[in-house]
């Protein structure tokens, strides 16, 4: 039996978890959240990845719930919340570089 690729395993986990949480129709941009987790782990600290993903999801859920736009609204709200978090990661990285004498915004 061939080893499953990570995205296939993630997809299966997502579907199982969504059913268990009774949100089977939720459409999540998994690539966006993975990128956000990587960026926050790299630019802040490793432990920031799950905390950032949770907070972005929570904020997106609140915004989407207020608009009652369903899954499409949740996807849009997630993208907006993630954009804010991405900018904060970059700002943090820039301020840390500046404090160390490196160029601001250098990765």
pLDDT at 105: 40
4: in domain? no
At residue 66, the pLDDT reads 75
Least confident of 15-19, 41-45, 70-74, 87-91: 70-74
Q: What is the pLDDT of residue 97?
A: 65
Domain count, the chain: 1
Structural domain includes residue 71: yes
Instruction: Give the C-alpha separation, 93 to 107, whole Å.
Output: 7
Predicted pLDDT at 34 = 94
**Residue 33 belongs to a domain:** yes
Q: How confident is the model at residue 79 (pLDDT cuts 50, 70, 90)?
A: confident
User: Does the residue 85 lie in any domain?
Assistant: yes
Residue 16 lies in a domain: no
Does residue 50 lie in a domain region?
Answer: yes
| pLDDT interval class at 103 (50, 70, 90) | very low
Note the pTM of the prediction, 2 decimals. Answer: 0.70
Dihedral class, residue 48 (left if φ above 0, else alpha if ψ from -120 to 50, else beta): alpha
When the pLDDT of each residue in the chain is averaged and rounded to a whole number, the result is 82
Q: What is the 3-state secondary structure (H, E, C) of the chain?
A: CCCCCHHHHHHHHHHHHHHHCCCCCCCCCHHHHHHHHHHHHHHCCCCHHHHHHHHHHHHHHHHHHHHCCHHHHHHHHHHHHHHHHHHHHHHHHHHHHHHCCCCCCCC
Question: What pLDDT is attached to residue 36?
Answer: 94
Q: 29-44 pLDDT, tens per residue? A: 889 999 999 999 999 9
10 falls within a domain: no
């Amino acid at each position: 039996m061939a080893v499953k690729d990570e995205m296939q395993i993630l997809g299966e986990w997502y579907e199982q978890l969504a059913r268990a949480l009774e949100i089977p129709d939720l459409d999540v941009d998994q690539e966006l959240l993975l990128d956000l987790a990587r960026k926050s782990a790299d630019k802040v600290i490793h432990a920031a990845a799950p905390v950032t993903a949770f907070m972005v999801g929570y904020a997106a859920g609140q915004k989407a719930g207020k608009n009652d736009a369903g899954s499409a609204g949740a996807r849009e709200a997630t993208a907006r919340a993630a954009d804010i978090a991405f900018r904060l990661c970059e700002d943090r990285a820039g301020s840390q570089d500046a404090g160390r004498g490196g160029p601001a915004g250098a990765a």
